[in-house]
Amino acid sequence: MKGFKLIFLSLMMCLPIMGVSQNYELSHGQKYQKIKFQLINNLIIVPVQVNGSELSFVLDSGVKNPILFNLTDRDSLQINNVSEITIKGLGEGEPIKALSSSGNTFQLKNIQNKDQLLYVLMDKSLNFSTSLGIPVHGIIGYDLFRDFVVDINYSSQTIKFHDPQQYVYEKDRKGETLPLSILNKKAYVDANVFLEDVDNLPVRLLVDTGSSDAIWLFEDEVIGIPDQNYEDFLGKGLSGDIFGRRTKVNSIKLGSFALRDAKAAFPDKSSFGAVKNLGNRNGSVGGEVLKRFNIVIDYTNEKITLKKNRLYKNPFHYNLSGITLQHDGVRYVSERITDGNGVVKDKDNNFGNVQILFVNKTRLSLVPEIVVSGIRAGSPAETAGLKEGDVILVVNGKSVHRYKIQEIMQMLDEKEGKRIRVLIERYNRDLLFSFVLENLFERKKP
- Please state, in angstroms and rounded to a whole number, the distance separating the CA atoms of residues 245 and 251: 17
Q: What is the DSSP letter of 6?
A: -
**Beta-sheet pairing, 293-298 with 303-308:** antiparallel
CATH architecture of 175-308: Beta Barrel (2.40)
Rounded to two decimals, what is the model's pTM?
0.85
177-204: average pLDDT: 92
The pLDDT of residue 11 is above 60 = no
Beta bridge partners of residue 91, listed in sequence order: none
Residue 173 binned pLDDT confidence (cut-offs 50, 70, 90): confident
- Please state, in angstroms and rounded to a whole number, the distance separating the CA atoms of residues 55 and 34: 18
For the CA atoms of the chain, what is the radius of gyration? 22
CB 104 within 8 A of CB 46: no
**Beta-sheet pairing, 111-121 with 67-68:** parallel
- Segment 363-415, tens digit of pLDDT: 677 778 899 998 999 999 999 999 999 999 999 999 998 898 889 999 999 88
The pLDDT of residue 36 is above 70 = yes
pLDDT of residue 135: 84
Q: How much of the chain is helix, strand and coil, in % rounded to 5? A: 10, 45, 45
pLDDT of residue 94: 65
Beta bridge partners of residue 334, listed in sequence order: 364
- Segment 122-162, tens digit of pLDDT: 766 666 667 777 788 999 999 999 999 999 999 999 999 99
> How many other C-beta atoms are found inside a 10 Å radius of the C-beta of residue 331?
15
323-436, superfamily in CATH?
A: PDZ domain (2.30.42.10)
Q: How many helices (H) and strands (E) does the chain have?
A: 5, 28
Is there a common fold for 32-162 and 175-308?
A: yes
The CA distances from residue 41 to 123, 145, 150, 317, 343, in Å, are 23, 22, 21, 10, 30
CB 220 within 8 A of CB 297: no
- Please state, in angstroms and rounded to a whole number, the distance separating the CA atoms of residues 27 and 356: 44
Q: Which CATH fold topology does 32-162 show?
A: Cathepsin D, subunit A; domain 1 (2.40.70)
* Spans of all domains in the chain: 32-162, 175-308, 323-436
